[in-house]
Amino acid sequence: MTAQRSTKVFKSGNSKAVRLPANYPLELGQEVIVREEHGIYVIEPVSRIDDLAAAFGSMPGLQSLTREDREIDERELDWDLKRIERD
């Protein structure tokens, strides 16, 4: 069973806040999600993928672009809209 502790909601600036005991496994500044499920409030850490290579590896068929695929051909842009046909 999960340990239960009592705390109070207090005002912090224009927000409501809850103080958590120091021994809870959350780091200062860690981003969390707070949601309500039928009157029960759940706090859970936001999961982030820090390693994009790991994210690519988890998606079948997704590959890194080659250097040639990343090159962009130079072209003149029509900033003055001179090439647009008008009625």
- pLDDT, averaged per 10 consecutive residues of the chain (87 residues), comes to 79 91 85 91 79 66 78 83 74
* pLDDT value for 52: 65
Backbone CA torsion sign across 18, 45, 5, 20: negative
* pLDDT value for 11: 94
Q: What is the pTM of this model?
A: 0.46
* pLDDT value for 7: 87
* pLDDT value for 49: 63
* pLDDT value for 14: 93
Query: How far are the Cα atoms of 14, 32, 37, 49 from residue 25, in angstroms, in the given order?
Result: 26, 12, 22, 19
